[in-house]
Amino acid sequence: MLKPKTWYWIFTVLFAGMMIFTAVPNILLEEEAVQFITHLGYPVYFIVFIGIAKTLGSIAILIPGFPRIKEWAYSGLIFDLVAALYSIITVEGIQPQMAFMILPFGLGIGSYLFYHKTVTNGK
């Protein structure tokens, strides 16, 4: 049986990796990312900002310690996922491929819950 700390690191590395993976095209202003985000109605200058914010938040949840910064990072990353889902639903309506969003939400929630389990139990 895996310990909560092991589960925390599994969820956290996968969640942070997924968020960084989606942030890199934004930071590099790759054409596909620009087209998609402007299609949703956001200005181009927002693309790099959100990419950097997701990267910093992902780094923050990976670094041990700094509980207050970690809380803010989790909030920002989950807010990013909620805002992305809301924006897509608003512009394109509900699509079957949106079921994929269960993965990042699940990883983020799992990481957060196991973070608190390891902080309170110290294991």
| DSSP-based three-state secondary structure for 43 | coil
Give the mean model confidence (pLDDT) for residues 33-39: 95
Instruction: Indicate whether 22 pLDDT > 90.
Output: yes
Give the mean model confidence (pLDDT) for residues 10-32: 97
Buried b (16+ CB within 10 A) or exposed e, 69-101: ebeebbebbbebbeebeeebeeeeeeeeeeeee
- pLDDT interval class at 1 (50, 70, 90): confident
Please give the share of the chain, as a percent, with pLDDT higher than 70: 98
Structural Rg of the chain based on CA atoms: 15
Q: Which of 98, 79, 101 is nearest to 89 (CA)?
A: 98
Instruction: Indicate whether 19 pLDDT > 70.
Output: yes
Q: What is the pLDDT of residue 80?
A: 97
Residue 110 CB-density burial (10 A; 0-12 exposed, 13-18 middle, 19+ buried): middle
| Residue 56 one-letter amino acid | L
Residue-wise pLDDT tens digits, 47-104: 999 999 999 999 999 999 999 999 999 999 999 999 999 999 999 999 998 999 999 9
